[in-house]
């Protein structure tokens, strides 16, 4: 997943032996584990629910275990049955506990006979936290309703009763009934030529954690981009998306050359409506992607590099707890850079690494001490809070440091071996370090000590000797920005010819937090950033302009906030607005209009920003 840019991380540190104590799951995998899931679901757009059955195959670890405990959130349970070898069903007693705000409701099923499989009939809630139901008016083509899931971090439990922990992996099959004009896709093998007959079947033969369980349905067209890749999107978007992602096969081949064969057969991309709260989600076989990357020049195609990299780091080798999420995101961001370099050149890869590092350097001091660590100490913070920028940026920076110390050839061999050794397993930070020591540190002595490694992993902040790549183009931009702010270079004399998206991002990122209003006006007069269709540039530009007090940009900023539901591109504008009473009032007006099109996660984030700002605003004069 692309980062959400929250400001708090941390979960409990869990060694493999203690995974039953996952603080974000009621599951008891030391007693029994789900190994396979069979889903039979009906899509009900009218009532905004999934209605059906989940059949779980069970591996009993404790012969005396009295029950099976599952995670649910806002599910209406209709029945629970044990199934024998012939398929005969026997009703089981169960209890659904009161709802916990974060964890949902514990489902305890009495299983004295330890069945090898059981079936649960259920219906989801229209407000399921892991599903979003869009009206036709909220889609690009405005013809049919749309539905999609977002299961990470712990939202799979809102649409399937299961053991919702990254430590527990299972295979799955699914049968989905849908209206005959709707195409259904899942995080499994998808048939690009599937007829619109309302009857869809899927198979995921590889064991995956629950957060990678995904489904989407709507008015979708398909364009193949290679022998094992395709793009799915609404008809008016699909050709633009196919052009933007036409290098997908090159990206797959480049990654295979570095780190071994692609293990998942197909790699397809689904471009979702603008309300999708993330940049991308690495659902196996079917990456979900935001339309905000469709800028026409492939400058933001690193999102595909990132989500594809998850096919090795995250999907193949998975963090066993949310505390260890850097094993997914730090490794993936490093691999993303290597893919980008192989296909688009070292200069672009270095620019993206520098953007990430400079942003972290600027923001890390604002984080709580524990939140500055790759492997935080026990804090009991929510699972969604673990998805901040730090695991991505600091984790990849650490791996680039290892590459520099040990040499690219040696580090590549280590990383390829790491992916092969832990394939289709969920592991902890400590298991990763136990593998690192003999296979890299001890193999090439004198390059880097375990003490130095532990500083990166367990200490707050950044090591003073953390290496940064060099970017001559960024150096030139630094000089121009400095001259412009000093008044020795006019805005219209900035040499922006040929600047890519990353270079505009870098120019804007390193402007003062509150840039003088006259400087903001000069930039806009020269380069017309207000109204830009590029959401990455727009987010940065509007944030600066709002902070400077430029009310002329407010309508364009509001349009950006209403059109885009991606957290990372929307919440910074709300944060900029709520710093003044007038801005807070305007933000509330914008949110009232935008809310119906936002994902529940985005709604919660924006409401939190507004609520936090209100007491301060009341005290302001």
211 is catalytic: no
C-alpha torsion angle, residues 217, 221, 224, 228 (rounded to 10): 10
Q: Sign of dihedral through CA atoms 287, 131, 566, 337?
A: negative
Catalytic residue among 234, 307, 351, 379: 307
Assess contact for 402 and 411: CB atoms under 8 A: yes
Catalytic residue among 392, 574, 591, 598: 392
Tokens at residue 402, please? 């290892």
392 is catalytic: yes
Assess contact for 439 and 418: CB atoms under 8 A: yes
Reply yes or no: is the peptide bond before residue 153 cis, omega within 30 of 0.
yes
Element (H, E) at 381: none
CA distances 521 to 484, 492, 502, 531, 586, Å, are 13, 11, 22, 14, 21
Question: Does 175 count as an annotated binding residue?
Answer: no
Q: How far apart, in whole angstroms, are the C-alpha atoms of residue 424 and residue 378?
A: 26
For 162-181, letters b (16+ CB in 10 Å) and e give bbbbbbbbbbbbbebebeee
Q: How far apart, in whole angstroms, are the C-alpha atoms of residue 504 and residue 485?
A: 16
Question: Does 194 count as an annotated binding residue?
Answer: no
Question: Does 536 count as an annotated binding residue?
Answer: no
> Would strands 267-271 and 286-289 be described as parallel, antiparallel, or unpaired?
parallel
Total count of residues recorded for the chain: 621
Tokens at residue 548, please? 């400077």
Q: Sign of dihedral through CA atoms 149, 598, 45, 200?
A: negative
- Going by C-alpha positions, the residue among 214, 221, 217, 222 that lies closest to residue 199 is 217
- Going by C-alpha positions, the residue among 216, 204, 423, 433 that lies closest to residue 315 is 423
Annotated binding site: 306, 310, 329
Residues annotated catalytic, as ranges: 307, 392
> Which residue ranges are tagged as binding site for Zn(2+)?
306, 310, 329
């Amino acid at each position: 997943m692309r980062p959400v840019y929250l400001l708090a991380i941390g979960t409990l540190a869990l060694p493999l032996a203690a995974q039953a104590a996952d603080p974000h799951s009621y599951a008891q995998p030391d007693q029994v584990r789900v190994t396979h899931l069979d889903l039979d679901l009906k899509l009900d757009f009218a009532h905004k629910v999934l209605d059906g059955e989940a059949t779980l195959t069970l591996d009993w670890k404790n012969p005396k275990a009295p029950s099976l405990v599952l995670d649910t959130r806002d599910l209406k349970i209709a029945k629970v049955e044990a199934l024998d070898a012939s398929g005969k069903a026997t009703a089981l007693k169960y209890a659904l506990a009161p709802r916990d705000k974060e964890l949902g409701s514990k489902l305890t099923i009495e299983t004295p006979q330890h069945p090898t499989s059981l079936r649960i009939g259920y219906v989801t809630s229209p407000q399921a936290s892991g599903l979003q139901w869009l009206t036709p008016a909220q889609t690009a083509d405005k013809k049919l309703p749309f539905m999609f899931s977002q299961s990470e971090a712990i939202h799979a439990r809102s649409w399937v009763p299961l053991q919702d922990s990254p430590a527990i992996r299972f295979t799955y099959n699914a049968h989905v009934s849908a209206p005959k004009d709707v195409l259904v896709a899942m995080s499994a093998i998808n048939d690009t030529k599937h007829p619109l007959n309302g009857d869809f079947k899927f198979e995921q033969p590889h064991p995956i954690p629950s957060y990678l369980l995904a489904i989407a349905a709507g008015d979708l067209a398909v364009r193949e981009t290679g022998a094992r890749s395709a793009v799915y999107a609404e008809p008016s978007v699909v050709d633009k998306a196919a052009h933007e992602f036409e290098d997908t096969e090159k990206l797959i081949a480049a990654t295979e050359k570095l780190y071994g064969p692609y293990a998942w057969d197909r790699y397809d991309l689904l471009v979702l409506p603008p309300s999708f709260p993330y940049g991308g989600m690495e659902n196996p076989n079917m990456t979900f992607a935001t339309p905000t990357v469709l800028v026409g020049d492939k400058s933001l195609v690193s999102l595909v590099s990132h989500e594809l990299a998850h096919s090795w780091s995250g999907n193949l080798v998975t963090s066993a707890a949310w505390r260890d999420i850097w094993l997914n995101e730090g490794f993936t961001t490093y691999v993303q850079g290597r893919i980008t370099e192989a296909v688009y050149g070292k200069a672009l890869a270095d620019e993206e690494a520098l953007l990430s590092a400079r942003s972290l350097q600027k923001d890390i001091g604002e984080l709580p001490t524990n939140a500055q660590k790759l492997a935080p100490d026990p804090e009991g913070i929510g699972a969604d809070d673990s998805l901040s920028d730090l695991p991505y940026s600091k984790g990849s920076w650490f791996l680039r440091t290892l590459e520099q110390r040990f040499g690219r050839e040696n580090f590549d061999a280590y990383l390829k071996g790491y992916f092969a050794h832990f394939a289709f397993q969920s592991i902890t930070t400590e298991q990763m370090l136990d593998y690192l020591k003999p296979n890299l540190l001890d193999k090439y002595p004198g390059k880097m000590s375990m003490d130095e490694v532990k500083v990166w992993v367990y200490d707050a902040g950044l090591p003073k000797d953390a290496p940064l790549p060099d970017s001559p183009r960024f150096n030139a931009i630094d000089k121009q920005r400095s001259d412009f702010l000093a008044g020795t270079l006019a805005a219209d004399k900035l040499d922006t010819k040929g600047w890519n998206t990353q270079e505009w991002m870098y120019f804007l990122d390193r402007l003062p937090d509150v840039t003088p209003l006259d400087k903001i006006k000069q930039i806009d007069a020269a380069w017309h950033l207000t109204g830009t269709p590029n959401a990455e540039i727009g987010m940065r530009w509007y944030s600066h302009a709002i902070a400077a007090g430029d009310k002329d940009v407010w309508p364009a900023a509001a349009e950006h906030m209403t059109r885009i539901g991606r957290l990372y591109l929307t919440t910074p504008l709300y944060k900029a607005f709520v710093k003044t009473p007038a801005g807070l009032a305007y933000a509330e007006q914008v949110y009232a209009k935008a809310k119906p099109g936002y994902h529940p996660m985005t709604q919660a984030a924006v409401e939190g920003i507004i609520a936090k700002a209100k007491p301060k605003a009341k005290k302001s004069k």
